[in-house]
């Protein structure tokens, strides 16, 4: 037991001798970190899914397809990260647990194979811990020396006589009673999986596009910093700098095939979404890479963890300046599955393309949870994921992820509010919180309610949703509105003001209260429903404080009782989505938020982000936004791609779905720029952000009008509003089978559905 847990690897192997092959060999396993399980050298599972250590989720697999008669080896590479990462957080230590552990059990024939002293173990000395530099977007780094790795260790013929018996941990904590089996503090009861952890998938070739020499720079333990330093030293020298291009953003484990290497050759790799004018990678907040030190000869290596990238830069140092070996690179996707059976097409090829890019963007942002982006962070943000989820509900027959992610995030702080990310370093140190992100999470729970009708899941999540919404009551004024809500009220990367009394935040709270009331009533919890409706009515009654009659807009905020002049797209759109706008005012609000002649794109934080440096605008997250530098009387700040899902929901509720088709063409700016996944913002940010994919959802829900008419899709509503499209068609998954719709502008409608259809 280590007094101070650190990043380390361990190799575990167990021999199983079989006279006959079983038809099934069910196994379950979990690691306080991550693992790769193999049988006879073939990978079986990579996991587990990220989770709060109080609610760990084990993997379940069938070993039978990988077994053979005679001697078999079950092998595991396990990593305990030590310090919290983007996808893992440590548990407090007890007398014996909390510094790395592995649990396994399998029924192979008549024999139970469990994690005990019968396993052989060796320290993963080939891996050297690399200190993370503290960047908020730094992913765990890996440094691997192949000369220290026992080749063939995962095969039956390997001689493990020099290995030690695995250390069998007896759980010891106050009240433990010496019970040797889980559950045991500091971990909670282990729960069955919602989905497979990190399955393998498509393999992408990564093409070498450049080679140059560099002077031998100062040596760094951090491979990413080494690569960047070498890039600055390009010129005559003994270091070979290679540039690779995947052709588009990809996400998964990186595999190197090295031919003709000399012992001790050092290969440093940095991953990035961007390259500069010289063709060298530019991090733009991304700090991801690894080091591989060669043994002699031909060899291959696959990273333990995932990377999202478009470009790779590799620095190669050989002993005595010998020629660099040949290096080939591929990327194996480790994303949640997308079975066949859903699709969309229409008369506008641009919109068909936009739909497909949204599908791909969400795919790249769906690992063991929905992540904001596959490249920079891979954190499971609580609010971002609502868009990923809605896209999956209409375009992916596998609904495990859209059901799982809100459950993963349902781990409130002691005050009841959800952390801004789930099961990550930000959760662990409670760095800050985003109050409005929990309101988007309530919408994601409401989506589960509508699409699945799963009473057990909703009954489990409803109390969490209620506690989150009740958190806001501390900020309620006598006018029924929320005032001076603390924390990071983000709302959107657009320059929408939230200081004082925020119209957008109040409207988001009102919509979440409406969602809560509907779900509570459905479950028979009439008291919660009544409370939520009462609070929503309070917001509705007080919302006129934000109305500017002269301009016909809702303003951003009121400070110290004084209405401010800035009026972004967000207040009016969110008020429409929440049903707060009086009927006589709806037409004016719609006209205001859709008047392209007055809409501008502006972000204090993101507009200054360039590949040459970091954004100076991020200081405003602490100091507050400065005074507007646009004409607030005649201009309106437009929502970023993420918040457009609320804008479109507002228009739909206002009865103006006819406007949405043309609004979705705004994504053409990315298509014209050659993007094959959606960037984070209209300007700046990552080049692959799942939260920007709302057009994929909207083409199904708002244009073709396909959505559940009742919870659980016991009936389906089909009400197309095609705008200027000649025709559109889609196949959409439901729990009862696919619904296929073909609609034409002349009113022709064909529907094939396993459930009743409502118009």
pLDDT along the chain (759 residues), means of 10: 69 97 96 97 95 93 97 98 94 90 95 96 96 81 98 97 95 84 86 82 96 94 96 93 98 98 98 92 92 98 97 97 96 95 98 98 97 95 97 97 96 96 94 95 98 98 98 98 97 97 98 98 98 98 98 98 98 98 98 98 86 69 92 98 98 98 98 97 95 98 98 98 98 98 97 97
Instruction: With respect to residue 27, please indicate whether it lies within any of the assigned structural domains.
Output: yes
CATH of the domain at 480: 1.50.10.10
Instruction: With respect to residue 617, please indicate whether it lies within any of the assigned structural domains.
Output: yes
Instruction: With respect to residue 468, please indicate whether it lies within any of the assigned structural domains.
Output: yes
pLDDT reported for residue 622: 85
Please state the domain count of the chain. Answer: 4
Instruction: With respect to residue 121, please indicate whether it lies within any of the assigned structural domains.
Output: yes
Residues 728 and 635 in one domain: no
Residues 601 and 678 in one domain: no
Residues 260 and 352 in one domain: no
CATH of the domain at 313: 2.60.120.260
Residues 529 and 602 in one domain: yes
Q: Which domain holds residue 579?
A: 476-655
Q: Is the peptide bond before 48 cis (omega within 30 degrees of 0)?
A: yes
pLDDT reported for residue 196: 76
Residue 162's φ and ψ, nearest 5 degrees, are: -85, -10
Instruction: With respect to residue 698, please indicate whether it lies within any of the assigned structural domains.
Output: yes
Dist CA 58 CA 63 (whole Å)? 15
**Contact at 8 Å (CB) between 528 and 469?**
no
Angle between helices 455-471 and 526-542 (to 10 degrees): 40
For strand 757-758 and strand 716-718, is the pairing parallel, antiparallel, or unpaired?
A: parallel
Q: Is 609 exposed, middle or buried (0-12, 13-18, 19+ CB in 10 A)?
A: buried
Residues 366 and 259 in one domain: no
pLDDT reported for residue 132: 82
**Residue 621, helix vs strand vs coil:** helix
Residues 592 and 684 in one domain: no
Planar angle of CA 751, 754, 755, nearest 5 degrees: 90
Residues 457 and 508 in one domain: no
Residues 77 and 153 in one domain: yes
Of 312, 333, 354, the one marking the end of a domain is: 333
Residues 696 and 612 in one domain: no
Residues 642 and 680 in one domain: no
Of 266, 301, 333, the one marking the end of a domain is: 333
Closest of 24, 108, 20 to residue 70, by C-alpha: 20
Residues 160 and 27 in one domain: yes
Of 333, 358, 388, the one marking the end of a domain is: 333
Instruction: With respect to residue 186, please indicate whether it lies within any of the assigned structural domains.
Output: no
Residues 618 and 702 in one domain: no
Instruction: With respect to residue 140, please indicate whether it lies within any of the assigned structural domains.
Output: no
Planar angle of CA 268, 271, 275, nearest 5 degrees: 110
Q: How far is CA 745 from CA 74, 319, 438, 707, 727, in A?
A: 60, 70, 39, 20, 6
Instruction: With respect to residue 174, please indicate whether it lies within any of the assigned structural domains.
Output: no
């Amino acid at each position: 037991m280590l007094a101070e847990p650190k990043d380390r690897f361990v190799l575990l192997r167990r021999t199983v001798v079989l006279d006959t092959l079983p038809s099934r060999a069910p196994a379950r396993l979990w690691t306080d970190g991550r693992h790769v399980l193999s049988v006879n050298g073939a990978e079986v599972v990579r996991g587990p899914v990220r989770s709060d250590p109080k609610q760990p989720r084990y993997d379940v697999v069938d070993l039978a397809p990988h077994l053979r008669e005679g001697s078999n080896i079950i092998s595991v590479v396990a990593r305990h990260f030590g310090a919290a990462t983007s996808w893992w957080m440590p548990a407090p230590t007890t007398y014996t647990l909390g510094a790395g552990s592995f649990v396994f059990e399998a029924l192979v024939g008549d024999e139970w194979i469990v994690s005990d002293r019968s396993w052989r173990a060796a320290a993963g000395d080939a891996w050297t811990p690399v200190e993370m530099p503290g960047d908020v977007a730094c992913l765990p780094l890996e440094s691997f020396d192949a000369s220290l790795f026992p080749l063939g260790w995962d095969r039956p013929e390997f001689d493990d006589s020099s290995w030690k018996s695995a250390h069998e941990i007896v759980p010891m904590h106050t009240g433990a009673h010496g019970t040797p089996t889980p559950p045991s503090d500091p971990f909670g009861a282990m729960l069955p999986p919602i989905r497979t952890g990190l399955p393998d998938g498509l393999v992408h070739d990564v093409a070498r596009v450049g080679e140059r020499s560099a002077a031998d720079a100062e040596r760094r333990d951090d491979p990413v910093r080494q690569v960047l330093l070498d890039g600055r030293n390009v010129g005559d020298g003994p270091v070979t700098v290679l540039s690779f291009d995947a052709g588009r953003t990809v996400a998964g484990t990186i595999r190197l095939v090295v031919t003709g290497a000399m012992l001790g050759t050092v290969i440093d790799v940095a991953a990035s979404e961007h390259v500069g004018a010289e063709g060298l990678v530019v991090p733009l907040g991304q700090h991801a890479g690894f080091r591989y030190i060669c043994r002699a000869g031909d060899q291959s290596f696959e990273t333990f963890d995932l990377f999202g990238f478009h470009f790779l830069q590799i620095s190669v140092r050989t002993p005595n300046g010998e020629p660099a070996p040949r290096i080939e690179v591929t990327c194996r996707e480790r994303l949640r599955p997308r079975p066949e059976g859903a699709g969309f097409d229409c008369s506008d090829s641009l919109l068909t393309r936009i739909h497909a890019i949204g599908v791909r963007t969400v795919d790249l942002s769906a690992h063991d949870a929905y992540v904001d982006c596959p490249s920079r962070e891979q954190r499971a943000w609580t609010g971002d994921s609502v868009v990923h989820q809605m896209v999956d509900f209409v375009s992916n027959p596998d609904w495990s992820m859209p059901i799982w992610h809100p459950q993963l995030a349902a781990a409130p702080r002691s005050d009841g509010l959800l952390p801004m990310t789930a099961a990550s370093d930000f959760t662990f140190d409670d760095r800050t919180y985003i109050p409005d992100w929990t309101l988007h999470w309530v919408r994601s729970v409401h989506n589960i309610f509508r699409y699945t009708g799963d009473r057990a899941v909703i009954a489990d999540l409803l109390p969490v949703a209620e506690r989150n919404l009740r958190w806001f009551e501390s900020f309620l004024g006598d006018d029924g509105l929320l005032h001076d809500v603390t924390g990071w009220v983000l709302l959107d990367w657009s320059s929408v003001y939230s200081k004082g009394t925020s119209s957008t935040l109040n409207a988001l709270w009102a919509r979440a209260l409406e969602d809560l009331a509907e779900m509570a009533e459905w479950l028979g919890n009439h008291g919660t429903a009544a409370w939520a409706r009462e609070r929503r009515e309070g917001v509705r009654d007080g919302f006129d404080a934000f109305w500017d009659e002269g301009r016909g807009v809702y303003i951003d905020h009121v400070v110290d009782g004084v209405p401010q002049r800035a009026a972004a797209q967000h207040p009016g759109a969110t008020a429409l989505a929440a049903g707060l706008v009086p009927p006589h005012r709806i037409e004016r609000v719609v006209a205001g938020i859709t008047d392209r002649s007055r809409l501008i794109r502006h972000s204090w934080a993101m507009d200054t982000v360039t590949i040459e440096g970091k954004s100076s605008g991020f200081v405003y997250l602490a100091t507050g936004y400065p005074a507007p530098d646009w004409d607030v009387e005649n201009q309106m700040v437009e929502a970023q791609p993420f918040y457009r899902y609320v804008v479109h929901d507002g228009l739909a509720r206002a009865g103006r779905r006819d406007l949405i088709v043309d609004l979705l063409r705004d994504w053409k700016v990315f298509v014209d720029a050659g993007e094959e996944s959606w960037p984070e913002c209209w300007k700046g940010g990552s080049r692959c952000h799942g939260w920007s994919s709302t057009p994929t959802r909207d083409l199904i829900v708002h244009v073709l009008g396909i959505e559940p008419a009742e919870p659980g899709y016991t009936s389906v509503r089909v009400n197309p509003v095609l705008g200027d499209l000649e025709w559109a068609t889609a196949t959409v998954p439901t729990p009862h089978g696919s619904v296929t719709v073909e609609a034409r502008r002349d009113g022709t409608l064909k529907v094939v559905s396993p459930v009743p259809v409502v118009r």
